[in-house]
Amino acid sequence: MLLADMGADVIKVEDPKQGDYIRWWPPRIGKNSGFHVVLNRNKRSLTLNLKTEEAKSIFRRLVADADVVLEAFARSHGQAGSGL
């Protein structure tokens, strides 16, 4: 959040099956979670199934020019050992 507030181009990669669970937390601002709106301001996001080679290729292209890559993929979601 702070990096995006300071002008960094932040791209959030989410699981296509469920996305960010905070999206569904109350209180709501229209159709969106107030928490999600605040915590993800100034960020871009996309969903990638990182179990596929196509998605891994897309991810690698995105991070090729990145200054920083932060990951929070849960091992239970099968990302460990994915070659990324």
How confident is the prediction along the chain (84 residues), in pLDDT tens digits per residue?
789 999 999 998 888 887 788 888 999 988 889 998 998 899 998 999 988 999 999 999 999 988 888 777 665 555 555 677
* pLDDT, position 80: 52
* pLDDT, position 22: 86
* pLDDT, position 81: 55
* pLDDT, position 78: 53
Rounded CA-CA distance 33/41 in Å is: 12
- Closest CA relative to residue 71, chosen from 42, 41, 57, 50: 50
10, 43 in Cβ contact below 8 A?
yes
Q: What's 58-83 look like in SS3?
A: HHHHHHHCCCCCCCCCCHHHCCCCCC
* pLDDT, position 31: 86
